[in-house]
Amino acid sequence: MTSHTPETTWNALTLHWQQLADLGGIGSLLGWDQSTFLPVGAAGGRARQQALLAGIVHERATDAAYGRLLDDAQAHTDWTSVQARTLALARRQFEEATRLPGTFVQEFTQHVGESYSAWVEARPANDFTRMVPYLERTLELSLQAASYFPEFASPMDYFIDQSDEGMTAEVVDRVFDDLRAALVPLVEAVAQAPEPRTDFLHRFYAPDVQLRVGGRIAADFGYDLTRGRQDLTAHPFMTRLGGQDVRITTRVREHDLTEALYSTLHETGHALYEQGVAPELLGTPLGGGVSSGVHESQSRLWENLVGRSRAFWAAYFPAFRDAFPEQLSDVTEDEMYRAVNVARRSLIRTDADELTYNLHVITRYGLERELLAGRLAVRDLAQAWHAAYETTLGLRAPSDVDGVLQDVHWYGGGIGGAFQGYTLGNVLSAQFHAAAQRALPGLEAQVARGAFSELHGWLRDHVYAPGSTYTPAELVQRVTGEPLTVGPYVAYLRGKYTALYGVG
Amino acid sequence: MTSHTPETTWNALTLHWQQLADLGGIGSLLGWDQSTFLPVGAAGGRARQQALLAGIVHERATDAAYGRLLDDAQAHTDWTSVQARTLALARRQFEEATRLPGTFVQEFTQHVGESYSAWVEARPANDFTRMVPYLERTLELSLQAASYFPEFASPMDYFIDQSDEGMTAEVVDRVFDDLRAALVPLVEAVAQAPEPRTDFLHRFYAPDVQLRVGGRIAADFGYDLTRGRQDLTAHPFMTRLGGQDVRITTRVREHDLTEALYSTLHETGHALYEQGVAPELLGTPLGGGVSSGVHESQSRLWENLVGRSRAFWAAYFPAFRDAFPEQLSDVTEDEMYRAVNVARRSLIRTDADELTYNLHVITRYGLERELLAGRLAVRDLAQAWHAAYETTLGLRAPSDVDGVLQDVHWYGGGIGGAFQGYTLGNVLSAQFHAAAQRALPGLEAQVARGAFSELHGWLRDHVYAPGSTYTPAELVQRVTGEPLTVGPYVAYLRGKYTALYGVG
């Protein structure tokens, strides 16, 4: 009856994608407002609005007519490579949304909600035993979720692929093994060295001045405030509310100079990625960052490889001295650089520094691997945690509160894929940064002048503009000339920390 | 097949109403954010999100299955009076949403958009002639819209009923005639009297201090900030984002002490109404203010009858003196009271004071009446405007810029029903306030102490809690013991202004 030319199919798909993107933006607004300005009494009503919108999004994302459009498109073979990639990602998202039965999703959601509520009580009570049956069920449900995607070699492969398309457990294992082998002795050596002074980081720093200075640096990096904004929140994040609306949020602590600064630079990195996506891709499946690893690489690149560099402090120490003349009266530029790079072995992931952070991630990833493979029982998880920390960080938590009970991820979500992206991001941050250094010979001198337009422009052209046009692996290969590899990251950390601590 | 008991029908309706309310709240969030925090570059994307959501809302508001549920409910006669009223309002909204054909709504929307764009250029060019064909078409389309509701005696009755259920042009005519007869000589007398000093209102007042003082008074009035918040905007408004989420916005001018204060008190009045609706009505057709007249009565009651009273300044002048000691060093409490009540005949509605404002409204209402009745041609509207202003306010605008071109309403919307609510609200504000005074003998003394809990409690119990349980006319009768009448308002204005200006 109706003629489905490739063009009409494509146009209908384009319209549908734009609507899905717009609904996604509305959902992001509900979440952004919830985390910034929502009156305390309105939490329940907001949750109901979010559930209603999620239902509408799910309806449209799984719409049978949309599925037929995707089938029509698949029957056609004459697409450009960008169109073919767009269709492949759309298909991927469609399968993700349709294969899990509604009743299963409901059961999983409800279980996770109950598990989270139990954890909120069990954690302060140091009661891992109470959480065992919850986690056992979570593990079962996670395995069941993975079973709907039999094309993956293992459940872990499925979970990794969800956030890092195309990545496999085998690759992550190898990367993490290499990284651990390099990091453990470096961390050990740094632990023996004397610590730099950090006392001045904990003087009183007026929150509004902290925000002003951090916001200025974000703008210097290239964050466009005509298409974004910065607000206060409890747990900082970056969020896309629309094609031209990418916002960051920040937490400020009066007696911590680094909290607001580095969370601002971190979220700015995420935001630069999203703001840099080519306009013509916005509102399509290609119109956003391609994977959690690549996303985290950009937050970490700007936070750490730029923001914790010696050159950065050459550029900005004067601004901090101007903003906080009394608090920094007895501090040198070099002392500041050393203080923001202090490395200490510790028990808590979220407090960990740049150097030791990855060992926390690798530990959790290893435990997830064992749980999903059936080689570790949930009831033995707490002891396995302690054992892994002793091996990797040489520390043992005095209780499960600072051990297996510390992170919300397993208790308020599924088991699998929650952690590896952080460290993949760190590895990639150095790999991308090394490529930028090769392409921009004067980079360090530019950073030391607070001039970021070349670095930002290069990253925008090579990493940001393509959005999800290439798979993560293709992107890494194109931009750096090699596949994912720990070499640049290990070299970066080794060079930085041996110089800082006089070790190695 | 399925059995539709009244209970299952009612439950299905309740669920649907809650979803409509939640979608409405999401739409309000999109609008609130647009007016407060949206990055400038994101305007286009936001408009598309709003249109998408409006489409979803329209789909659900006009859903055939929902219509059948309403029919099922109508077939049943055993409802409580509150249920019957709920169903009647739901039916009213359903008819409003379904009777206008989609193509007609589209055409009207597009025409109004084009008309608005033309007005944006024609107004500064003082070019009413250019707007004549646009307005002629707007008038035609407005009449066509009304023609879908033949149960009303006239198009004007339909438009008035849309915002003030049950009110008719006949009643409004009578009320406005009575009011004009009382106001014209009073305004004339005031115009002859010497003006009080107002110079100090235009000194520099730090915006953040203005906001703090205004916010404190809003809280004193009873505005609950655990279920609301106050933010900055260009055009102040109150908005409900959820059952427990009623927000106000404010504009602050550095050299105007009254702008932020009285817009805060005005929007607080609207917010107290919405926050006071009984919790069990939220998410149903009864869960909000009943009409624009009653809503405006509450904003005006708190803004004018409380906030511009002598007693109010007895309570708050010390706080203003503390906040602005230098700016108010040569000002007495009585001078402040007189300054915020200055009355001047003027050409611009939005700059008009409490006394003369209604004459602007009555003038516009009269012109709308004539246009809709076919007794006035659009091409004669500019002259009719000048003539009406000469008769009513004794003024003639030097051009159409400050005449017929000044308000956006007719150029960016339909003709009919846009204005009368403001003055109905003023009339009702005095009627409700007089009832409160009868019920609360010590009211003025309480206001003079900044104690509002009795007034707020009385209004909450009698006006706010019922939401839309009663029709506007029923509510006015129940609360004041009589139908809508100008007596209390005229008495209030006459008493206040003869005392202030020593006239009459």
Average pLDDT over residues A174-203: 95
Task: Determine whether the interchain pair A242/B52 forms a contact, defined as Cβ–Cβ distance below 8 Å.
Answer: no
Question: Are A45 and B243 within 8 A, CB to CB?
Answer: yes
A317 Cα to chain B: minimum distance (Å): 30
Separation of alpha carbons B161 and B167, rounded Å: 6
Contact yes or no for B22 and A29 at CB 8 A: no
Give me the helix-helix angle, A257-276 and A292-300, nearest 10°: 130
- Phi/psi region, residue B240 (left: phi>0; alpha: psi -120 to 50; beta: rest), is beta
Give the CATH number for residue A306: 1.10.1370.30
Q: Is residue B365 part of a domain?
A: no
Report phi then psi at A72, rounded to 5: -55, -45
Inter-chain residue contact A227 with B42, CB threshold 8 Å: yes
CB contact under 8 A, A243 and B45: yes
Q: Provide the number of CB pairs (under 8 Å) joining chain A to chain B.
A: 96
- CB < 8 Å to B39, chain A: 225-229, 244-245, 247
Amino acid of residue B84: A
Q: How far apart are the first and last CA of chain B?
A: 74
CA distances to A258, A335, B363 from A341, rounded to whole Å, are 10, 10, 71
A15 and A140 together in one domain: no
- Tell me what pLDDT residue B1 has: 41
For residue range A21-80, what is the model confidence (pLDDT) as tens digits? 999 999 999 999 999 999 999 999 999 999 999 999 999 999 999 999 999 999 998 999
- ipTM summary value: 0.93
Sign of the torsion angle spanned by Cα atoms B445, B451, B452, B457: negative
* Per-residue pLDDT band at A3 (split at 50, 70, 90): low
**Is there a catalytic annotation at residue B59?**
no
What is the nearest CA distance from A30 to chain B, expressed in angstroms? 8
Q: Which of B165, B259, B267, B303 is catalytic?
A: B267
Which of A18, A42, A229 has its CB closest to that of B244? A42
Give the model confidence (pLDDT) of A97-143 as tens digits: 999 998 999 899 999 999 999 999 999 999 999 999 999 999 999 99
pLDDT at A351: 87
CA-to-CA dists, residue A72 to A64, A80, B6, angstroms: 12, 16, 46
Is residue A332 pLDDT above 50, yes or no? Answer: yes
Q: Are residues B237 and B88 in the same domain?
A: no
**pLDDT tens readout for residues B110-151:** 999 999 999 999 999 999 999 999 999 999 999 999 999 999
Q: Give me the residue from A33, A44, A245 closest to B29, CB to CB.
A: A33
Flag whether pLDDT at B345 surpasses 50. yes
Co-location of A78 and A207 in the same domain: no
Nearest CA in chain B to A56: B56
> Which is nearest to B276 in space by CA: B92, B33, B452, B68?
B452
Identify whether A117 is part of a domain. Answer: no
**Taking CB atoms and an 8 Å cutoff, what residues of chain A touch B241?**
42
Same domain, A139 and A54: no
List A96, A121, A254, A267, catalytic entry: A267
In a domain, B51, yes or no: yes
B86 plus B204 within the same structural domain: no
Quote the minimal CA–CA distance from B420 to chain A in Å: 34
Residue A56 resides in a domain: yes
Tens-place pLDDT, residues B221-275: 999 999 999 999 999 999 999 999 999 999 999 999 999 999 999 999 999 999 9
Contact between A49 and B243 using a beta-carbon 8 Å cutoff:
no
> Are the C-beta atoms of A87 and A79 separated by less than 8 Å?
yes
Instruction: Give the pLDDT of residue A497.
Output: 95
Q: Distance (Å) from the C-alpha of residue A14 to the closest C-alpha of chain B?
A: 15
Interface of B with A (CB under 8 A): 18-19, 22-23, 25-26, 29-30, 33, 37-42, 44-46, 48-49, 52-53, 56, 224-229, 231, 241-245, 247
**Average pLDDT of chain A?**
96
User: Has residue B305 been placed in a domain?
Assistant: yes
The predicted structure's pLDDT at residue B367: 97
Question: Quick one: closest CA in B to A242, which residue?
Answer: B45
Over range A351-375, report the average pLDDT: 96
In this structure, are B220 and B335 located in the same domain? yes
A38 and B245 in contact by Cβ < 8 A? yes
Contact B158, B142 (CB under 8 A): no
> Residues A93, A238: one domain?
no
Mean pLDDT along residues A245-251: 97
Question: How near does any CA of chain A get to the CA of B52, in Å?
Answer: 7
Instruction: Tell me if A112 is assigned to some domain.
Output: no
Total domains in chain B come to 2
Evaluate whether residue B69 is within a structural domain.
Answer: yes
Same domain, A84 and A150: no
Residue A1: per-residue pLDDT: 41
CA quadruple B188, B190, B193, B194: dihedral positive or negative?
negative
Q: Which of A46, A79, A98 is the last residue of a domain?
A: A98
Is there a single domain that holds both residue A157 and residue A15? no
Looking at residue A346, what DSSP letter applies? -
Q: Tokens at residue A294, please?
A: 């690549």
Structure tokens at B132: 């004549």
State which residues form the domain around A42.
6-98
- Report the residue from B22, B39, B46 with minimal CB separation from A49: B22
- B340-347 average pLDDT score: 94
Of B227, B229, B244, the CB nearest to A37: B229
Q: Does residue A110 fall inside a structural domain?
A: no
Of the candidates A289, A275, A299, A304, the residue with the CA atom closest to the CA atom of residue A472:
A289
Q: What confidence tens digit (pLDDT) does each residue in A266-295 have?
A: 999 999 999 999 999 999 999 999 999 999
Nearest to A22 among B49, B227, B229 (CB): B49
B245 in the same domain as B138:
no
pLDDT at B4 (0 to 100)? 77
Question: Is residue B368 predicted with pLDDT exceeding 80?
Answer: yes
Q: Are residues B214 and B307 in the same domain?
A: yes
Q: Are residues B323 and B233 part of one domain?
A: yes
Residue-level pLDDT at B3:
59
Nearest to B53 among A26, A45, A243 (CB): A26
pLDDT in tens, A415-458: 999 899 999 999 999 999 999 999 999 999 999 999 999 999 99
Which residue of chain A has the CA closest to B231? Answer: A37
Name the residue of chain B whose CA is nearest to A42's CA.
B244
Residues B353-374, mean pLDDT to the nearest whole number: 96
CA-nearest residue of chain A to B49?
A22
Please give the share of chain B, as a percent, with pLDDT higher than 70: 99
